[in-house]
Amino acid sequence: MVTVTDAPATPSPASESAVAPRLIATDLDGTLLHDDKTVSDRTIAALAAAERAGIEVFFVTGRPARWMDVVSDHVHGHGLAICANGAAVVDLHRGRRIVEVSPLDRTVALDVVNVLRGVAPGTTFAVERTGGSHYEPQYPPFHRDQAAVVAPVEKLLAEDFGPLPGPDTDPGMAADTVTVAPRGAPGAFDATGPGQPVLKLLAHHAELDPDDFLALARTAAGALASVTRSSPTALLEISGLGVSKADTLARCCAERGITPQEVVAFGDMPNDIEMLTWAGTSYAMANAHPDVLAVTTGRTDSNNDDGVAAVIERMLRPGPAGG
């Protein structure tokens, strides 16, 4: 199971860089948000101060677009967020509309299902598509959408799968047809209708240790897809091969002429590691997974103690003490 390593009560500075920060990339759950899934007034003020100072803020999360309402009012300027571990770019200024996807091929997803069933019997699956999440009957009721289809994963991954938008579908997407072009592919697709892209395959095991399950899955299926986790339970998040928070963030930064050295990143779980190692400056939360603590250039307070805000405040402070 995950063990938490104690971190200092106050932020430890990351390796100093001669390059001034131009972008803050922060995870949400376990990082920016308190455990009750709220954003503190202190954090809201720090994010706003960063934007006023000319530093862009990107929320980079494993969450789907429809769960971004908690921070939709706190992103300015560009209005974009990176969701589903990099598989979707979402415009929070336009009703949480998905504007770009890096999908998981459904036939590859089925191959991963078969591999995981072979190496970890008892694994159950859910499928996150652009229009919502759908589940196998035995999959745990973590955050079930009322409009979800409950069926064997083979049906959930069918080529013509496309339930009608329901009460828990993203309101911006449900209001009218949304078409977005998948990265690296011509044309467009309906984000809510039949054939909607698969963003993530979720795999849960009721008995395996979370880190053991991740290592097992990466060994068995890592050549097929990207496998990571962000939950304290044995719940894996599986995306297209090469898709990660870092991959999509790097592309968004390149479009803005921002280098890795100009990025400050925050995270707490294995799905943040690629982003944290890509960024020039990175901070692990005090509550972070040991693997995250091992790769970051600095540490800060826990999510419940506003660790992200503490670093931003220090970074914006004038004089040598600032970031």
The structure tokens listed for 32 are 């920016």
Q: Residue range 267-285: average pLDDT?
A: 98
Mean predicted lDDT score pLDDT of the chain: 87
The residue-averaged pLDDT of 41-66 equals 96
> Residue 172: is its pLDDT beyond 80?
no
pLDDT of the residue at 254: 97
Give the rounded distance of the alpha carbon of 219 from its chain centre. 22
Q: Is there a contact between 116 and 123 (Cβ–Cβ < 8 Å)?
A: yes
Residue linked to tokens 């100072």: 53
Q: What's the mean pLDDT in 162-189?
A: 46
- Assess whether pLDDT exceeds 50 at residue 323: no
CA 86/CA 67 separation, integer angstroms:
15
What is the pLDDT, as a whole number, of residue 88? 96
| Per-residue DSSP letter, 123 | -
If one counts every other C-beta atom within 10 angstroms of the C-beta of residue 133, the result is 23
* For the chain, the helix, strand and coil percentages under 3-state DSSP, each to the nearest 5: 30, 20, 45
Tokens of 228: 């990571």
Q: Which residue has the higher pLDDT, 12 or 292?
A: 292
Render pLDDT for 217-261 as a digit per residue (tens, 0 to 9): 999 999 999 999 999 999 999 999 999 999 999 999 999 999 999
- Nearest-angstrom CA–CA distance, 84 and 28: 12
**Position of tokens 């870092």?**
246
Residue carrying the six token digits 């795999």: 203
Tell me if residue 155 falls in helix, strand or coil.
Answer: helix
What is the distance between the alpha carbons of residues 36 and 155, in angstroms, rounded to a whole number? 34
pLDDT of 295 above 70 = yes
Q: Which amino acid is at 109?
A: A
User: CA-CA distance, 282 to 273, in Å (whole number)?
Assistant: 10
| 165-175 average pLDDT score | 41
The predicted pLDDT at position 12 comes to: 57
Is residue 79 within 8 Å of residue 188, measured between CB atoms?
Answer: no
Task: Identify the pLDDT of residue 187.
Answer: 47
Q: Which residue has the tokens 């995250």?
A: 292
Cα separation, 243 vs 247, in Å, equals 6
Q: Is the pTM of this model over 0.85?
A: yes
